[in-house]
Structures are given as C-alpha cells and as structure tokens.
Chains A and B, each alone.
Chain A
Amino acid sequence: GDSVTQMEGPVTLSEEAFLTINCTYTATGYPSLFWYVQYPGEGLQLLLKATKADDKGSNKGFEATYRKETTSFHLEKGSVQVSDSAVYFCALGGSQGNLIFGKGTKLSVKP
C-alpha cells in the first residue's frame, strides 16, 4: 500500500543553518504531496504542497519539489530560525481522500 518514509529526528540546528528533511514515498498513481508542521501543543498546519511531478511548493522560506523519478519530496530551508522549531510531517493524498503521514521529524533550532 501507499506509504511515506521521512528521516528520523530529532534534528538540532543552529539559527541560520540550512535545513533538509528527506521524504520519500511509495504510491500507485500520482498522489499529491504535502508538508505539514505541528508547533508545540497545537494541531497540524499545512506548510506547502505539490500536486504533480516537478511542481515546487513553497511557503515561509520552505521549499519542496515533487520528484517523480526519485519518488521524493524533500523539505528545504536556506536559513532556519528559532521559531521554526516544530515537528514536520510529510504526507501523501491517499485514495480514500485521507492523508498518509510519515512518522514526523522534530526540529530544534538553537539561537
């Protein structure tokens, strides 16, 4: 069945460092891909999404490109801030209309 694998954390970076969180997927067809973010004590919020191959989603300085050939959707940010500390989830749109999530990657950014 469909699945998402993302790099395990936690990831600890210094402010202004470059961030990459790897995400790969297995799916039949051409799913939409998403990154959601969960700040401490809150629900999940959509960070960005891409609906077809070679699409690039971007928001708040974060970017991810839908790579069909490598079945990947890696999240990147050029310069992280303390306020980016959160748990990041990669997800794909499942056939039931649900989201299939990776296990999440906790990011901590130190000043």
Chain B
Amino acid sequence: NAGVTQTPKFQVLKTGQSMTLQCAQDMNHNSMYWYRQDPGMGLRLIYYSASEGTTDKGEVPNGYNVSRLNKREFSLRLESAAPSQTSVYFCASSGGLAVQETQYFGPGTRLLVL
C-alpha cells in the first residue's frame, strides 16, 4: 500500500501565481486534512474534510481553498500565492474524526513563493 501520496514534492512559485497541491490515500479513510509546517511552529491545520462531500476550515485557512474530489483525493489550492505561504505542506488521513484516531501523513510538499 502506498498510504498517503502527495504531488508535487517541491514547487517554486512567483507571487500571485496559483497552484494546486494534490493528495490521495488508499486506506479507505473517511477523513482527510491539510497542515502546514513552519520552522518553530509545529504543524497547523489549514482545512479538513470529515467525510466525502464536506470540508471545514482549520486554524489557518486564509489564502487557501480545498476540494474533496472523492473519498481518496483531497486537493489544496492557492489562488494567488504570497511569500507568507512558503512552507512545507502535509496531507493526512484518518478513519474518522474521533479524537483517538491515528492520522497518517504523506511525505510533504515543499513550496517556495518568491
């Protein structure tokens, strides 16, 4: 099993450009998440999807949109990239939203916005 996969691995954007980060999981999980990781900040939740067809804002949603395309795929879109969005982005999935559920993480996408 591949688990959680993310594409691309690395991307450089200019300010104002748009891009979509892709995430897919093959564990038949209901819930999926997008986090960003910044130095000294830990990981912070951007958006999550409790189940197919639903999405909700997390701690830091401004400047991002998401789409839960189907049960497997959850994409993150930056409509107009800003240097403050330079970060490492992680997608994760879990069986559900219960607080004891383990989340499984992808390898991350490193994004640099110039």
User: Measured between C-beta atoms, what is the minimum distance from B59 to chain A in Å?
Assistant: 8
User: How many residues in A have their beta carbons less than 8 Å from beta carbons of B?
Assistant: 24
- Kindly identify, within residues 71 to 114 of chain B, every residue whose CB is under 8 Å from any CB belonging to chain A: 90, 92, 94, 96-108
CA distance A97 to B50 in the complex (A): 8
A97–B41 CB distance below 8 A: no
* Tally of contact residues, B, Cβ under 8 A: 29
- Cβ-defined partner of B48 (8 Å) among A31, A32, A45, A96: A96
A55 to chain B, nearest CB (A): 10
CA distance A38 to B53 in the complex (A): 31
Binary contact track A84-103/B, C-beta < 8 Å → 1, others 0: 00000100011111110111
Residue of A nearest to B103 (CB): A99
- By a CB distance below 8 angstroms, the chain B residues around A93 are 98-101
B45 within 8 A of A: yes
The verdict on A43 contacting chain B, using a C-beta distance below 8 Å, is yes
> Which residues from chain B contact A103 at a C-beta distance below 8 Å?
40-42
Contacts of A43 in B (CB 8 A): 4, 90, 105-108
- Judged by a CB distance under 8 angstroms, whether B43 is at the interface is yes
Q: Return chain A residues, CB-CB under 8 Å to B107.
A: 42-43
B residues 15-58 in Cβ contact with A at 8 Å: 31, 33, 40-45, 48, 50, 56, 58
Question: B98–A97 contact, CB under 8 A?
Answer: yes
How far, in whole Å, are A44 and B99 apart by their CA atoms in the complex?
18
Q: Is the CB–CB distance between B106 and A97 below 8 Å?
A: no
Give Cα A44–Cα B104 distance, bound, in whole angstroms.
8
Interface residues, chain B, CB within 8 Å of chain A?
4, 31, 33, 40-45, 48, 50, 56, 58, 90, 92, 94, 96-108
A residues sitting closer than 8 Å to B (CB atoms) are 4, 31-32, 34, 36, 42-46, 49, 51, 89, 93-99, 101-104
Known: A46-B102, A94-B45, A98-B33. 18 other contacts (CB 8 A): A4-B42, A43-B90, A44-B105, A45-B105, A46-B103, A46-B104, A49-B100, A89-B43, A96-B56, A97-B31, A97-B98, A97-B99, A97-B101, A98-B45, A98-B58, A99-B45, A101-B43, A104-B42
